[in-house]
Amino acid sequence: MKPDKIVKKQILNLPVYETGKPIEYVAREFGLDPDGILKMASNENPLGASPKAVEAVKKRLGTLNYYPDGGCYELRQKLSKKWGLAPAQFAFGNGSNEILEFIAQCFVGDGDETVFGAQSFIVYKLATIFMGGVCRSVPMPGLKYDLDAMRDAVTDRTKVVFMTNPNNPTGCVVPQAEVENFVRSLPEHVIFCYDEAYTEYQENPVDLRNLIAEGRNVICLRTFSKIYGLAGLRIGYSYSSEEIAGYINRAREPFNVNSLAQAAALAALDDDDFVRRSREVNNAGRKQFVEAFEKLGLEYFSDGANFVMVKVADAPQKFVEMQKRGVIVRPNVGYGLPDWLRITIGKPEQNERCIGELAKLLK
C-alpha cells in the first residue's frame, strides 16, 4: 500500500510553512557572496543577539555533555519575579511556536474549531489542521483585526481563539481596552491564546495578567527570538493559570529547551540596555521606511512590530529580483496578500540599501 493511503488525512491536507530564505540558499541560487547579502525576511534583530546572552552561552559550552534542566527551574523563577506570577504559571518551548502546537494538542480535537485573523500567523492554521480541527479564518479589512467578526465566528464548537498583537504579518496593533473587552465577551468554553512575539517593540504593550488573575482562560506567549536576538537558539514561554500551564507541561516533551537556550534567556532578561537600543533602532528604521514609501508613492502598513508591509505590483517577482540584488524580503502569497512584501526593519544602512534596490525595480 502506498504511504499516502496510510498517512493521516491531516498530514495530506497540511500546508507547508515556508520560512524566510536563508542567506546561504540565496548565495548558492544566484551566485552571490554570502557576506554581501542582507536578510530582511524573518524579523530577526539586526543588532544581533543580546551581548549578555552571548557571554552566558560561552560559559555553558563546557557542559554540553549534560542534559538540560527539563523544568527550566532558574528561568521559571526569574520570570516569576519579573511578571509577579507563580512559577507554576509558566511553560517553556523550543520557541513559542512549539507552545502553539502544545496548545492545539491540549485543546483541539476532531471537529473542534479555532478562530483567527485571515492574515495572522500561519502556525495557528497548521496546528489546528494537524489536530483534526476546523479553521475559522476571519477576514481582516485594511489589514486589521475585525474583532466583532471574530466574536461572531465563535460557536459552541470553538475551543481556541488566536491573536497576535502586534499582528504578523500585517503589523496592526489592537489597544488594551479593545483586547480586554474582546476577551471578556468570549464564552467560558473558549481559550484565548494571545501571542506577544513582538510586544517588546511597543512602548505601552497590552497586559492581560489581570484577566488571568480574574480566572479567564487566557494563555499569553512570549519569545526570545525577536528583540532579544536569540532566534537561532529557539526558546519561548507561556504564562496562564496554573491549571492551564499544567496541561501544557503534560504535552511538553522532556528536555525540549536546550541548556544554551536557557542560559542565554536568563542573561538576556537582564540586558535592558540592549532591549532599549533595539527598540530605538527599530523606531528610527520604521520612520526611515515610511518616509521612503511616501516619496515613492507606495501604499504601506506599519503600526508596530519590527517590520513593515509595502504594496508593489508583481510582488512575487519583485521578491525574486531583490534576491538577485542581495536583499532577501518576504512575499505574502501564502497569507492571501500577493501584492505585498514584508520587510524586516534593519539598521539605517541596511534600510537604505533595501529601499534603494526596491526603488530601482519600480522604475
CA distance 145 to 308: 17
Q: How high is the pLDDT of residue 12?
A: 85
pLDDT score, position 358: 97
Query: 142: which DSSP letter?
Result: G
- The Cα 316–Cα 320 span in angstroms is 7
pLDDT in tens, the chain (363 residues): 889 889 988 888 888 777 888 999 999 999 999 999 999 999 999 999 999 999 999 999 999 999 999 999 999 999 999 999 999 999 999 999 999 999 999 999 999 999 999 999 999 999 999 999 999 999 999 999 999 999 999 999 999 999 999 999 999 999 999 999 999 999 999 999 999 999 999 989 999 999 999 999 999 999 999 999 999 999 999 999 999 999 999 999 999 999 999 999 999 999 999 999 999 999 999 999 999 999 999 999 988 899 999 999 999 999 999 999 999 999 999 899 999 999 999 999 999 999 999 999 998
User: Looking at residue 18, what is its pLDDT?
Assistant: 74
Q: What is the pLDDT of residue 17?
A: 79
How large is the C-alpha radius of gyration of the chain? 21
Residue (of 315, 247, 286, 214) closest to 105 by Cα position: 247
Instruction: Report pTM.
Output: 0.95
Q: How far apart are CA 209 and CA 203, in angstroms?
A: 17
What pLDDT, on a 0 to 100 scale, did the predictor assign at position 195?
98
Could you tell me if 132 and 85 are in contact, meaning their C-beta atoms sit under 8 angstroms apart? no
pLDDT at 11: 87
Determine the pLDDT at residue 193: 98
pLDDT at 26: 96
Residue with cell 549534560: 66
Phi/psi for 317 (5° steps) reads -75, -35
Q: Which domains are assigned to the chain?
A: 3-48+272-362 (3.90.1150.10), 51-268 (3.40.640.10)
C-alpha 214/C-alpha 79 separation (Å) is 20
- Of 284, 326, 282, nearest to 47 (Cα)? 282
pLDDT for 303: 86
What strands lie across the sheet with 330-331, from one edge to the other? 300-301, 307-311, 340-344, 330-331
Q: What does the alpha-carbon distance between residue 166 and residue 177 come to, in Å, rounded to a whole number?
A: 15
